[in-house]
């Protein structure tokens, strides 16, 4: 009895301690929230709220460091207090959050862009076009002191241009690239080497050899490559520029792009290529040759499951972007290496005759782009924070702390990020699977490609699926292309009329008068681009030529077109 009473007393005391601990913790939390609210609501404090979707390890901590530095610098410069508050939201709901907050006119001061804003940027955000043409004041004392803000970027700040009105909105802080991660311990244990070979065929042989070694060691838990459907897309970075000649041959408007317009449609319908083309085979089979070394059922796995397999030491390789490098580095308990993708070269016995070279990373986009919302109470302070964040010194500090590649010229990356610095040498490429957007053509291609990478069909089976499904898909996208450009032409005519009105009567608008030079430059651009909106006439003329020539593919596509093409030409 005494023992039982002692146990009850002990449990009662433990429960009391637990309750007291919760009460104290809750009280401390309430007090901290109260203190923060008091600071934010103080009359002499300007609060800048920032919303983004970056939940990667170390990112928010790095952002807080720069935010606190700005708070101190701003107070030293102006004698005014400012507070930067960040709010990270899951990317699953981020797009809906921005849309609803924008419509409700309650967007925070700074908002990360890059989630399919679909032309809403001019509606919800403030242009900083004039500011990017002036030097960044926080580069004072460096060789960038007199350089326009836009020219301090590796990409010339192209990532901040909105194609709707050709204005600059916000500024990016980082860039990214994709690489392979490997387990150095397993590499030494299986092959007694410290790093993987750089050649494509040697890399495939290494994966095959690792599978054989794991079987001989009765290590059924090991796989050469940790992968999921996500990694199947990521590994497309190992392709070479085998489609370069095909794209040059069919780049009808000489803009350096083939795809996402009528060029794919007209080239395919005219018999200039089909999906049995050996250059397409080289492009697709480069990755399909590797997927046989992925874990069984990889297409049913999610990204995190594959990455967990690698960080637990159960795979030799994994592929992801620079954004995951810090997470990997903090989770693994083995020496981890990072290397570039192997790609076929001109000596490759199977694909060599189609290889022009590696695919360039010169157009790797700048990311973590923050823009000032029209509903900010302190837009000038928000813009000043962006300039602070993207000065060379602070951009280097921010990206070294967050383990992301910097985007400003001369900013040095963290050693972990050195393998991720983009390589601009090489050639461009694209996918010959779509006309516009992620429509029926992309859906047909994706379905066929899944069958190929899972080795349910060979390349001929993959090509047969596309030859069967693409005519109907292209007809649907052709109709959508015509309708979209018809509507865009009307919208551009309205925009041109607005600019003409601004140019003619703007001087009568008082303080709201537009700058004549900017209005004139927009008019010139709109007029020059006006003919592109009349491209329907060109494509319909070319389409009629194909029908008159009785091209088989054009006739096959035509049978699925339901709209009145003659009306669209008028």
Averaged pLDDT for residues 320-333? 90
Extract the runs of DSSP E, i.e. beta strands, from 226-348.
315-321, 336-339
Averaged pLDDT for residues 331-359? 94
Q: Which pLDDT band, with edges at 50, 70 and 90, does 91 fall under?
A: confident
The DSSP H or E segment spanning 369 is strand 369-372
Q: What is the CA radius of gyration of the chain?
A: 28
Q: Give percent of the chain above pLDDT 70.
A: 84
Q: Which pLDDT band, with edges at 50, 70 and 90, does 39 fall under?
A: very low
Q: Which pLDDT band, with edges at 50, 70 and 90, does 36 fall under?
A: very low
Buried-exposed string 402-412: b where 16+ CB fall within 10 A, e elsewhere: bbbbbbbeebe
Which tens digits make up the pLDDT trace of 372-396?
A: 999 999 999 999 999 999 999 999 9
The DSSP H or E segment spanning 223 is strand 223-225
Tell me if 389 sits within 8 A of 62, measured CB to CB: no
The pLDDT assigned to 486 comes to 66
In 3D space, the residue among 136, 102, 106 whose CA is nearest the CA of residue 122 turns out to be 102
The domain segmentation of the chain, as residue ranges, is 10-38, 42-176+365-420, 178-360, 470-569
Averaged pLDDT for residues 352-363? 90
The DSSP H or E segment spanning 443 is helix 440-453
Tell me if 376 sits within 8 A of 369, measured CB to CB: no
Most confident of 116-130, 219-233, 492-506: 219-233
User: What is the rounded distance in angstroms from the CA atom of residue 197 to the CA atom of residue 541?
Assistant: 52
Which tens digits make up the pLDDT trace of 423-470?
A: 888 888 777 766 556 688 889 999 999 999 999 999 999 999 999 999
Assign residue 502 a region (left: φ > 0; alpha: ψ between -120 and 50; beta: otherwise): alpha
User: What is the rounded distance in angstroms from the CA atom of residue 470 to the CA atom of residue 554?
Assistant: 12
Neighbours of 158 (CB within 10 A): 14
Output the pTM of the full model. Answer: 0.77
Q: Do domains 42-176+365-420 and 178-360 have the same CATH topology?
A: yes
Q: Position of tokens 């054009």?
A: 554
The full 3-state SS of 492-554, as one line of letters, equals: HHHHHHHHHHHHHHHHHHHHHCCCHHHHHHHHHHHHHHHHHHHHHHHHHHHHHHHHHCCCHHH
Which tens digits make up the pLDDT trace of 148-203?
A: 999 999 888 988 988 777 789 999 999 989 999 999 999 999 999 999 998 999 99
Which architecture characterizes domain 42-176+365-420 according to CATH?
Answer: 3-Layer(aba) Sandwich (3.40)
Averaged pLDDT for residues 413-428? 89
Residue 484, SS3 per DSSP: helix
Lowest mean pLDDT: which of 8-22, 129-143, 534-548?
Answer: 8-22
- Does residue 535 have a pLDDT over 70? no
Task: Name 334's Cβ contacts closer than 8 Å, sequence gap at least 6.
Answer: 183, 184, 185, 186, 313
Which architecture characterizes domain 178-360 according to CATH?
Answer: 3-Layer(aba) Sandwich (3.40)
- Does residue 313 have a pLDDT over 90? yes
Q: What token pair was written down for 68?
A: 């606190």
Taken in order 184, 189, 193, 197, is the CA torsion positive or negative? negative
Task: Name 262's Cβ contacts closer than 8 Å, sequence gap at least 6.
Answer: 435, 478, 481, 535, 539, 542
The DSSP H or E segment spanning 36 is helix 2-41
Taken in order 356, 359, 361, 363, is the CA torsion positive or negative? positive
Average pLDDT, rounded, for the chain: 85
User: What is the rounded distance in angstroms from the CA atom of residue 219 to the CA atom of residue 190?
Assistant: 12
User: Which position has the higher pLDDT, 503 or 238?
Assistant: 238
Count of all residues that appear for the chain in the document: 570
Q: Exposed, middle or buried, 394 (CB in 10 Å: 0-12/13-18/19+)? A: buried
User: What is the rounded distance in angstroms from the CA atom of residue 310 to the CA atom of residue 332?
Assistant: 8
Tell me if 361 sits within 8 A of 177, measured CB to CB: yes
Residue 454, SS3 per DSSP: coil
Averaged pLDDT for residues 44-63? 91
- Does residue 540 have a pLDDT over 70? yes
DSSP per-residue string spanning 101-157: HHHTT---SEEEE-S--TT-HHHHB---HHHHTSB-GGGTTSTTTTSBGGGGBTTTT
Averaged pLDDT for residues 504-527? 74
Q: Which pLDDT band, with edges at 50, 70 and 90, does 53 fall under?
A: very high
Tell me if 381 sits within 8 A of 74, measured CB to CB: yes
The pLDDT assigned to 419 comes to 93
């Amino acid at each position: 009895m005494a023992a039982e009473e002692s146990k009850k007393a002990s449990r009662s005391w433990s429960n009391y301690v637990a309750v007291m601990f919760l009460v104290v913790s809750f009280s401390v939390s309430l007090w901290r929230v109260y203190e923060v609210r008091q600071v934010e609501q103080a009359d002499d404090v300007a609060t800048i709220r920032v919303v983004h979707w970056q939940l990667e390890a170390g990112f928010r901590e790095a952002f807080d460091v720069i935010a606190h530095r700005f708070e101190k610098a701003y107070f030293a410069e102006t004698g005014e207090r400012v507070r930067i508050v960040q709010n990270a939201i899951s990317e699953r709901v981020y797009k809906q959050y921005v849309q609803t907050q924008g419509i409700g006119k309650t967007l925070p001061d700074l908002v990360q862009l890059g989630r399919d804003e679909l032309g809403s940027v001019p509606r919800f955000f403030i242009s900083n076009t004039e500011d990017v043409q002036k030097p960044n004041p926080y580069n004072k004392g460096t060789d960038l002191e007199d350089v326009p803000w836009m020219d301090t970027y590796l990409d010339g700040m192209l990532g901040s241009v909105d194609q709707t009105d050709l204005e600059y909105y916000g500024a990016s802080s980082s860039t990214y690239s994709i690489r392979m991660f490997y387990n150095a311990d397993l590499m030494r244990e299986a092959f007694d080497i410290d790093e993987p070979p750089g050649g494509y065929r040697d890399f495939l042989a290494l994966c095959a050899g690792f599978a054989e070694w794991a079987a001989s060691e009765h290590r059924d838990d090991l796989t050469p490559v940790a992968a999921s459907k996500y990694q199947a897309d990521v590994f497309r970075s190992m392709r070479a520029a085998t489609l370069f000649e095909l794209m040059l041959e069919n780049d009808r408007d000489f803009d350096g792009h083939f795809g996402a317009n009528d060029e794919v449609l007209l080239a395919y319908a005219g018999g200039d290529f089909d999906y049995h083309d050996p250059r397409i085979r080289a492009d697709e089979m480069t990755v399909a040759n590797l997927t046989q070394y992925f874990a069984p059922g990889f297409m049913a796995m999610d990204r995190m499951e594959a990455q967990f397999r690698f960080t637990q030491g159960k795979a030799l390789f994994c592929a992801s972007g620079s954004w995951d490098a810090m997470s990997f580095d903090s989770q693994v308990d083995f020496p981890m290496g990072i290397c570039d993708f192997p790609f076929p070269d001109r000596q490759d016995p199977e694909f060599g005759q189609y290889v022009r070279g590696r695919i360039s990373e010169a157009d790797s986009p700048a990311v973590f782009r923050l823009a000032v919302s029209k509903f900010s109470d302190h837009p000038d302070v928000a813009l000043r924070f962006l300039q602070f964040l993207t000065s060379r010194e602070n951009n280097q500090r921010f990206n070294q702390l967050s383990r992301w590649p910097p985007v400003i010229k001369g900013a040095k990356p963290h050693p972990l990020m050195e393998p991720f610095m983009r390589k601009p040498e090489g050639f461009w490429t694209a996918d010959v699977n779509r006309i516009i957007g992620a429509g029926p053509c992309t859906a047909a291609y994706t379905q066929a490609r899944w069958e190929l990478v899972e080795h349910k069909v060979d390349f001929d089976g993959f090509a047969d699926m596309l030859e069967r499904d693409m005519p109907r898909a292209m007809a649907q996208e052709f109709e959508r292309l015509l309708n979209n450009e018809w509507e865009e032409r009307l919208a551009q005519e309205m925009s041109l009329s607005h600019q003409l009105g601004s140019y003619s009567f703007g001087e009568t608008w008082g303080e709201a008068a537009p700058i004549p030079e900017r209005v004139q430059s927009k008019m010139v651009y709109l007029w020059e681009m006006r003919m592109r909106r009349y491209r329907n006439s060109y494509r319909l003329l070319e389409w009629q030529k194909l029908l008159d020539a009785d091209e088989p593919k054009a006739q096959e596509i035509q049978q699925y077109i339901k709209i009145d093409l003659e009306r669209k030409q008028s």
